[in-house]
Structure 1
Amino acid sequence: MFRRTFWFTAGAAAGVWATTKVQSRLRRLTPESLAAQAADKAVEAGHRIKEFALDVRAGMAQREGELNEALGLEAGAGTEHERELVARPRPAPLTQKHTYNRNEDH
């Protein structure tokens, strides 16, 4: 008698456990839940990319400072020639004066 009661209770508990597991999996696989999970992953990836870009930018600035120090350059000073190039206005782009007409030659 006790053996039957034990196995009946164990089976009922296993059934309840399996039902709750299946229901939770089904809730996670609904389109709304999948969309929310994808959005969370995209936001997380965006944050990681932003952190990486900021780290790269900080490393670039640090290395530029090290190179300027090693070369004895002041930040932003440049040579007189470099300052002149920056201050000089840029020429207008060249335009094509003669267009080719393929029917001219025939």
Structure 2
Amino acid sequence: MFRRAFWFTTGAAAGVWATNKVHRKLRRLQPDSLAAQAADKAVETGHRLRQFAVDVRAGMADREEQLHDALGLTGSGDPRELPASHYRAVLETPHRTTRATGPSGIAGPTGNEDH
């Protein structure tokens, strides 16, 4: 008798659990819920893009300040008074490139020089 009651109760509990799980999943797949999820993802993506833009602007400002300092443009003097060797030293600093360029400095999509 106790054995039957135990298995009956276990079966009923498993049925209630499975039914709740299915209903929860169906509610998540309704159009209103999907629209809310899409809106949340769009807002999150917008925040990430905004933060990326802020980071890019900060990096640009830092680099511009470095170049101005290196070229002597931050002082009160006339930048044309700087010696040409100073300009060359700043502008000819080696930069790392990710693909090969030809003698003209132009490379095609595969990294080969355009003809």
> Higher RCO, 1 or 2 (CA under 8 Å, sep at least 6)?
2
1:23-77 residue CA offsets vs partner (Å, 9 max, x unmatched)? 11111111111111101101110110011001110111011111211222228x9
How far, CA to CA, are the matches of 1:52 and 1:78 in structure 2?
36
Aligned to 1:67: 67
2:57 corresponds to which residue? 57
TM-score, structure 2 length as denominator?
Answer: 0.62
The aligned counterpart of 1:13 is 13
2:27 touches 2:33 (CA, 8 Å); kept in 1?
Answer: yes
CA–CA distance in 2 between the matches of 1:74 and 1:20?
A: 69
Q: What is the deviation of 1:79? A: 5.2
Query: Which structure is larger by alpha-carbon Rg, 1 or 2?
Result: 1
Unaligned runs of 5+ in 1: 81-106
**Deviations 1:5-37 (Å, cap 9, x if unpaired)?**
111111111100011111111111111111111
State the secondary structure of the residue aligned to 1:8. Answer: helix
Identity level (%) = 70
User: Which residue is equivalent to 2:25?
Assistant: 25
TM-score normalised over the length of structure 1: 0.67
Q: Distance in 1 between matches of 2:25 and 2:54?
A: 38
Instruction: Call closer, same or farther: CA 1:21–1:78 in 2, change over 3 Å.
Output: farther
RMSD of equivalent CA atoms: 2.0
CA distance in 1, matches of 2:71, 2:2: 89
- Structure 2 gap ranges (5+): 81-115
Structure 1 consecutive aligned stretches of length 4 or more whose deviation exceeds 4 Å: 77-80
